[in-house]
Structure 1
């Protein structure tokens, strides 16, 4: 009996010792792992909580009664421009509806619905077609424009005046191979706050013969005033 009891005690002791070792090892590694993740700022939050996505991939969301937009100009004569409005890709290389010159999308200023999208080659005879296109824009229409390669060759004073009526402050200075992105509207009372322009300058150009690509994002109010 004594031998049997001793064996039982030894077996129990070994079992308890093994259990203690396993528990100690587990919690020691667990604590270290938790401490390391905390120190690095790593959490186990769902992906949707870590990186909220905003319309058009913008850095922030827009308030009510505003449309999110992003306009990216072309890069030299290699990478085409893109226009996104209210999370809809209106013009892009993927949609195969862009071209060198001016890329213009017309959007209903109330509903955000795409009305028309077209491209105008400023090297060719598209200036008369662009003239007609701009004349026919209706009041309350939002106009989004992106340059690609060159948007100024053969652009005349009449066409520049149309863009000025849409709220542009830079179109009068637009020159050969300048990059330009612009959002305006027909019936706008003041100059548009949504416009960027960079000159073609051999001393500052990012590419050989072209300035760097422009990217502009923001929130356009419905029925811009």
Structure 2
């Protein structure tokens, strides 16, 4: 083979080798860049900042010097009531501290501290237990009430008067299997705005023999010393 032929072959091999090396290096670099982007994720894949959760899962946060609350009545005789106050569950089926009838929680109106919870069977229980409980409530205490199943069979005039004295507009009307949720306090000069009532009406009941569940949320002004 002539020398010029050897040189041409060598040059061709060199060009092919250089081209192969360039192509390999380029695509390896591209592959690394793609992998890096994939690992980091594009801007649209980055987790979005979640809005801060309000106390008791309220739709809006409560202003300063107020307490957040969310309460619900029982649903028929199947699902019990629930009370959340300042992001703490006071009473619920999960806490196993609810019962048929009237479920009541007492909270310090200044500090928001839970003082006591109890339930009173208004179908076959002793009304004296409820009367003693209501009579012992002192001024400055927030009273939260939620019904479950039947709240009124044993409810007498004295008990209704005591509940009315806490600011209720519907305690005097409460009847068999009605639904009722209420927040009041002893010595209120006006009726409480935190109250909902639904009458047991066979023509309108959501459940067979019981009205639908009641739910209420909002902010209660803190009692200032």
TM range (shorter): 0.7 to 0.9
Give a deviation string over 1:174-212, Cα, whole Å, max 9, x none: 221011111111222222111111111112211110111
Runs (5+) with no aligned partner, structure 2: 1-6
Give the drift of 1:157. 2.0
Q: Could you say which residue in structure 1 is the equivalent of 2:47?
A: 44
Secondary structure of the equivalent of 2:172?
helix
Q: Could you say which residue in structure 2 is the equivalent of 1:120?
A: 120
The one of 15, 20, 28 equivalent to 1:9 is 15
List 4+ stretches of structure 1 deviating above 4 A.
Answer: 14-22, 24-27
What is the aligned residue count? 213
Task: Kindly name which structure, 1 or 2, has the bigger radius of gyration based on alpha carbons.
Answer: 2
| Superposed counterparts of 1:16-35, under 5 Å | 16-17=22-23, 23=30, 26=34
Give a deviation string over 1:115-157, Cα, whole Å, max 9, x none: 1111000012432211111111100100000000011112122
Secondary structure of the equivalent of 1:184?
strand
Partners in 2 of 1:69 and 1:191 — Cα distance?
18
Secondary structure of the equivalent of 2:196?
strand
TM-score (norm 1): 0.83
Q: Could you say which residue in structure 1 is the equivalent of 2:4?
A: none
Partners in 1 of 2:9 and 2:202 — Cα distance?
98
Partners in 2 of 1:103 and 1:166 — Cα distance?
15
Does 2:144 correspond to 1:144?
yes
* Cα 1:128/1:15, change in 2 over 3 Å: same
Q: Could you say which residue in structure 2 is the equivalent of 1:93?
A: 93
Runs (5+) with no aligned partner, structure 1: none
Q: Could you say which residue in structure 1 is the equivalent of 2:3?
A: none
Secondary structure of the equivalent of 2:219?
strand
